[in-house]
Amino acid sequence: EKIGSVCDNLGENETGFLKLSDEQLMGQCEMETFKSSGPGGQHRNKRESAVRLKHLPTGVIAQAAEDRSQHMNRASALARLRALLALKVRRPVDLNAYSPPPELLQILPTKSTIRGSECGPQIKSNNPKFVEGMQALLDLIYAVEGSVSDASKYLGMSTGALSRLILSDDSLRGAVNELRASK
């Protein structure tokens, strides 16, 4: 599945998957456990500790098998699913009345003109809330047909500053490049 596909079959209220609690998001998933090569030495294949989650509304799949604990693998797979949803599910953006959402403002550099001091410190890519800002940024870049320059104008920042933000995270950089290649 290509990054940047808009979920046309989903209503506008059904694309806020990242705002759901873990339990609510799990309720939209099909979970499969399986045996996988991985840690554990002589004990590694005794239990089905690997977890694969399929998000039913979108078809996005994430899995984890790093740990011998099924619960740990489930948590890892859920975190990966959130990141994949941010990268792959595009939401509509009204460019005529565009105002960056708070989750996007939080990942912008502190020197950005549109970002007020009330946003607090800039959230970096190791923060779990970064994926929400990443999704909002990708939605904007998708709406301006992959133009980083146009997106930077909507955000009140230089193209170079936005490019540095995009390059700061490998998955974000890959998603933007794939969006730009598809346009």
Residue range 17-88 in CATH 3.30.160.20: yes
Q: What's the pTM?
A: 0.82
Which residues neighbour 148 within 8 Å (Cβ) at sequence distance 6 or greater? 141, 159, 162, 163, 166, 176, 180
Q: What is the CA angle 107-111-117, rounded to 5?
A: 75
The tens-digit pLDDT sequence of the chain (183 residues) is 444 444 544 444 456 888 899 999 999 999 999 887 765 566 655 678 899 999 999 999 999 998 888 999 999 999 999 999 999 999 999 999 899 999 998 898 876 655 555 555 678 888 888 999 999 999 999 999 999 999 999 998 899 999 999 999 999 999 999 998 887
Query: What are the boundaries of each domain within the chain?
Result: 17-88, 102-182
Report the pLDDT value the prediction gives residue 118, as an integer from 0 to 100: 53
Q: What is the CA angle 112-122-160, rounded to 5?
A: 40
